[in-house]
Every structure is written in C-alpha cells, then in structure tokens.
C-alpha cells in the first residue's frame, strides 16, 4: 500500500470514531445521537463563524435520513463530524452499539461517499472496493468475497479489473458506493454523491439506491440539495436553517418504495410532500417561488 493510500486509509479506519460517553440503553434502535452539537470556524480575519448551532437529533437503525437546507447551512459540516473528519466541535456525538464496529466484526462505524471522484486511479475497481477491508483485518479471501458481493449489487462485477478512467461518472460513483458498502458500516454517509451526474443518470442511481437499501437494510444519512431526491429516497427529511445551521423541521416520509422511481414521483403524496418541503425551505432562505419575502 502506498503512503498516499496509507494516509487515506488511516482516516477511513477512524471514520465515525467520534469519542463520546456511552449512552444508556433505550428501547428504540438508534445508531447514533447528536446532542446540542455546535461548530465554530474562524475566518481569515480571525472572526468566529458559527456553522452549526445546537443540533440535537438521532439516526435510527435501518432508516434513510436525508438532510436538506440552504447552501452554507452546515450540511456537509454535520456529515464530516459524523465521519470523524472534524472533531473540533461542542456537544456530543453518541454511538449506540458501537462495540459491533472494528476489527473483530470487520465493520467500520461509518463510511462516506463524497460528491467528488474519490477512487484511486492506479487501482482497479476491485482493488478500490477492497481497500478499506485490509485495515479491518479481512484476509484476502474475505476481501474478495465482499468485493464480489457489492460489485454484483452495484452492477459492476464485470468491471472488476477495469480502471477508474475506463468508467463513466455514474459507474465511478457506483464503485465508490460499493467500496463504502463493503466496509458494512453502522452508518453510511452520502454527501450529494450524484450532484455531478445528468438528470437521467441521477434517476437511474436513485432507483439503484432504493434497491440497495432494500437489500442491505443499511442505515443512511444522505445530504442533498435536491428536495425531490430526498422525498424519493428518505424515510425522514431533516430541514436545516440558514447559517448558523439549526434544525428547522423534520418530516416523516411514508411512501411505498416497491415501485419504480418515476411511479413514486407521480403520486399525489409525493407532490404534496415535495411542495410542503419547498415551502419550508423557501421561507427559510427568505423568499418563496412566488416572490414573497420573509
């Protein structure tokens, strides 16, 4: 493994390892819990910028929680905290059943798929997918078994020996998703992974995600600017305020997802939920689509 990969995987191995006291047992299955989470940055002038302010919420086992909000509201900051990439925060991040993650269980606490292409160009698709598994203690046979499993799930098994430059944008993101799923994380973090794709490719990827979520029962936190995407994929949608980011609204989404994406989007309930969330978000940024001001 190269020094670049070693540095990257040191971070990946720590992903989600946010130190916090263990929480008391609770009846409802919760993967992680945020308690009064705040994050302050300091700009070039030295003035403090409050990015997150008093975020308290939880992510339930097996659910897809989407996070939407105005640009700059701290969505990606929240994700970075959960990924263990940003530890300079106030408040607490508590992981429940954290003991099931690590080398003994061959699982990460969390794994992240970012918007930008994150594949190592000198490794094959299979090599990229297997990359986080060696630090988890998986031997060669288990690495091969897991990579085959998730490459098949993401439709890339026939491209196992291909290199990233031979893949389309959508295929690269599927490979990144396969790599994250192969770590079998307690929490899968998705940071606008399809933002760079065209509209048709986004719909295809949304359909594939619905299938993957059903097959794996993975717990997911999904950051997106796309309200329709959030309603299509999520069990709950968390709406954040403009900076400093706080929770403005949490919307339960109760839409059957055993139909094609376009059929889901054609339902009256989908349209109602999308319009409701648009109204909340438009009011938050200061104007509605009809030009009314806050």
- pLDDT tens-digit profile of 209-242? 999 988 888 999 999 999 999 999 999 999 999 8
- pTM for this model (two decimals): 0.83
- pLDDT tens-digit profile of 36-62? 999 998 878 888 889 999 999 999 999
CB 46 within 8 Å of CB 261: no
* pLDDT at position 11 over 50: no
- pLDDT tens-digit profile of 166-196? 999 889 999 999 999 999 999 999 999 888 8
Write down the H helix ranges in the chain: 3-14, 75-82, 125-130, 140-153, 169-182, 199-216, 227-233, 261-265, 268-285
Q: What is the mean pLDDT of the chain?
A: 84
Which domains does the chain possess? 3-225 (3.40.50.300)
Of 155, 209, 147, the C-alpha closest to 182 is: 147
Nearest-angstrom CA–CA distance, 283 and 5 = 44
Would you call 280 helix, strand, or coil by DSSP?
helix
């Amino acid at each position: 493994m190269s020094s670049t990969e070693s540095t990257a995987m040191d971070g990946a191995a720590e992903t989600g390892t946010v130190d916090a006291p263990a929480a008391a047992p609770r009846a409802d299955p919760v993967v992680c819990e945020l308690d009064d989470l705040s994050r302050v940055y300091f700009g070039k002038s030295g003035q403090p910028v409050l990015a997150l302010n008093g975020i308290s919420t939880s992510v339930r086992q097996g659910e897809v929680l989407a996070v939407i909000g105005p640009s700059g509201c701290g969505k990606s900051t929240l994700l970075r905290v959960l990924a263990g990439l940003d530890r300079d925060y106030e408040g607490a991040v508590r992981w429940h059943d954290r003991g099931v993650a690590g080398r003994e269980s061959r699982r990460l606490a969390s794994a992240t798929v970012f918007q930008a292409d994150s594949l190592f160009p000198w490794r094959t698709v299979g090599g990229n997918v297997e990359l986080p598994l060696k630090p988890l203690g998986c031997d060669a046979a288990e690495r091969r078994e897991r990579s085959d499993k998730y490459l098949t799930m993401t439709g890339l098994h026939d491209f196992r020996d291909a290199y990233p430059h031979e893949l389309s944008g959508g295929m690269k993101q599927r490979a990144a998703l396969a790599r994250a799923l192969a770590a079998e994380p307690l929490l899968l973090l998705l940071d606008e992974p399809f933002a760079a794709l065209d509209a048709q490719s986004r719909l295809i990827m949304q359909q594939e995600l619905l299938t993957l979520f059903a097959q794996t029962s993975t717990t997911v936190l999904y950051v997106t600017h796309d309200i329709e995407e959030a309603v299509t994929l999520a069990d709950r949608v968390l709406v954040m305020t403009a900076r400093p980011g706080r929770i403005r609204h949490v919307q339960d989404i109760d839409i059957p997802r055993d139909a094609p994406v376009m059929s889901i989007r054609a339902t009256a309930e989908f349209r109602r939920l999308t319009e409701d969330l648009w109204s909340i978000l438009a009011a938050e940024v200061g104007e509605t689509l009809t030009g009314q001001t806050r």
